[in-house]
Amino acid sequence: MEQQGVKGMIGYYLDLAWRSLARNKVLTALMVLAIGLGIGACITTLTVLRLLSGDPVPTRSGQLFYPQIMPDTRSSTEPEGEFTYIDATQLLQAHRANRQTIVVSARLKVFGPQPGAHPMSLSTVATTTDFFPMFAVPFTYGNGWHQADDDARARVAVISSALNDKLFAGADSVGKHIRLDRWDFRIVGVLDHWRPAPRFYDLYGQGAFAGGDDVFIPFATSRDLAELGIAGNSLDCWGQLTDQVHLENQPCVWLQYWVELDTPAKVSAYRHYLVNYSQQQKALGRFHFKGQPLTALSSLMQWLEKNQVVPSDVRLQTWVAFGFLLVCLLNTVGLLLSKFMRRAGEIGVRRALGASRRTVFAQLLVEASVIGAAGGVFGWLLSLAGLWAIRQTPAPYATLAHLDLPMFLGTFALAIVASLMAGLLPAWRACQVAPALQLKSN
């Protein structure tokens, strides 16, 4: 019975709000417009900020770390972001982490199995078997290759669901072949839809918000077939190159390296290992530094922050949007105050007939929330238009700018909360109306 009474009271308040708003359609439209403009700007920029700053592996990010060392003689206060072939493979073979993987990528010519198939330029990642379980990569068919495939330098590949749809109409293609340049690779797995944003595992290669990768092959195999051209897009050398194709012994950093560490003790131990490794390489004459070696071990989210994955202009745009929302709310406060004070006579009569200030205050806030809900609808439409406009720009993250369910719900939550905040002062002022004075003046 009590719940029915509450529902009836809310329904009554909504009916009063609708009648009141319908009396002055122009004023109501102005308030909905003000809130909608502010909400649209905020949700558009918040969606982009959430996209750029989100956790790409929320179930495992706390266990993923990116090591750094400084192998060359260049003066710097920050160790290198990438690794030479020698250092990456030595760290990999040491097995000092739960899992570890090398990552490098490039765009290669990929041919389908059909005779005379035209080549496609696709993003291809050369990596190691631990890549897939480390980064919680989902599979539709098959799985990643095994350590034995890495050791045997097998010509095996994992392909994306998009490429599988294009070449095999979405059917199970495990065991079939594709061709990379001049070499055939046997498919051992097909990914489910997987496009982490940002593309954290290869920030220096294709970019943080590049399109999804379509082919994954063993790193060791890619070195056997060095003519494939997987040498990294960010090749950085500090000495004279004697071979620009076979980079195994060249003074260049071009590989990215990740480790999985599941306890704080292992994190601490790995930090010490990086220092000891650097000192060992200095003793061998490979590293040149004075004092303590320059090393670092960053968690996934720290690595993204260190590389400034979120552009500063996006953060600035978000603050500007909230400033614009504040201006819109101030305008709404003025309009609500004008609207509520015009009804001083009506409020005074209700008070004289027994309505409490609390009741009147609640009814006016319900009216403000109705305005907020309508503003939320308008703001949602504006945010869809804003995100569509972003998708038309050349920004690398443009294609990812879509409104998901949490942001859709957040649109209306923000609109109603904002309208309630805007309605507090006008509702409180309206409740201070003295019934006797209003009755006397009437």
106/213 Cα distance (integer angstroms) = 10
What's the mean pLDDT in 108-116?
Answer: 84
Residue 303, phi then psi, degrees to nearest 5: -65, -40
Q: Are 13 and 363 contacting, i.e. CB atoms less than 8 angstroms apart?
A: yes
Judge whether residue 159 has pLDDT over 80.
Answer: yes
Output 362 or 12, whichever has higher pLDDT.
Answer: 362
The answer to whether 92 and 100 are in contact (CB under 8 A) is yes
CA torsion, points 359, 365, 367, 370, in degrees to nearest 10?
A: -140
At residue 7, does pLDDT exceed 60?
no
Torsion sign across C-alpha atoms 260, 265, 268, 271: negative
Give the mean pLDDT of 136-151: 96
Helices first, then strands: H and E counts in the chain: 14, 12
- Rounded to an integer, the average pLDDT of 360-384 is 87
> Domains of the chain: which residue ranges?
2-56+311-441, 70-294
In this prediction, residue 402 carries a pLDDT of: 86
Both tokens assigned to 365: 């806030």
pLDDT, tens digit, 9 for 90 and up, residues 332-369: 888 888 877 777 667 766 766 666 778 778 778 888 88
Model pLDDT, residue 53: 81
Q: With a cut of 60, say whether residue 19 has pLDDT above it.
A: yes
Q: How far apart are CA 442 and CA 431, in angstroms?
A: 18
pTM over 0.85: no
- Strand 215-218 versus strand 139-142 pairing type: unpaired
Name which residue leads in pLDDT, 105 or 259: 259
Contact 430, 340 (CB under 8 A): yes
253 in Cβ contact with 80 (< 8 Å): yes
Q: Residue 29: its pLDDT value, please? A: 86
The proportion of the chain whose per-residue pLDDT surpasses 90, expressed as a percent, equals 40
Please give the single-letter amino acid code of residue 402: H
Q: Report the alpha-carbon distance of residue 130 to residue 66 in Å, rounded.
A: 15
- pLDDT value of position 367: 82
Say which residue, 281 or 354, is predicted with more confidence.
281
pLDDT band (50, 70, 90) for residue 426: confident
Most confident listed range (13-17, 95-99, 224-228, 311-315): 95-99
pLDDT over 60 (residue 197): yes
Q: How confident is the model at residue 2, as a pLDDT?
A: 43
What would the two tokens of residue 396 be?
């690398």
The one-letter amino acid at 111: F
CB 64 within 8 A of CB 283: no
Residue 130 pLDDT greater than 90, yes or no: yes
Whole-number average pLDDT of the chain: 85
The pLDDT value given to residue 168: 94
CB 204 within 8 A of CB 197: no
Q: How confident is the model at residue 303, as a pLDDT?
A: 93
Of the segments 141-155, 210-224, 247-261, 290-304, which one has the largest average pLDDT value? 141-155
Type of residue at 420? L
Query: pLDDT band for position 8 (50/70/90)?
Result: low
Confidence band for 308, pLDDT divided at 50, 70 and 90: confident
pLDDT at 1: 39
Angle at which helices 2-23 and 25-53 cross, to 10°: 110
Give the DSSP letter string of 131-194. Answer: HHHHTT--EEEE-PPPHHHHHHT--EEEE-HHHHHHHHTTS--TT-EEEETTEEEEEEEEE-S-
Res 228: pLDDT:
62
Lowest pLDDT segment from 270-284, 331-345, 374-388: 331-345
Q: Is the pLDDT confidence value at 173 over 90? A: yes
Assess contact for 403 and 43: CB atoms under 8 A: yes
Decide if 99 contacts 260 (C-beta within 8 A).
Answer: yes
Does residue 211 surpass a pLDDT of 80? Answer: no
pLDDT at 167: 94
- Angle, in degrees to the nearest 10, between helices 344-352 and 357-391: 140
Cα separation, 346 vs 360, in Å, equals: 11
Helices (H), 343-356: 344-352
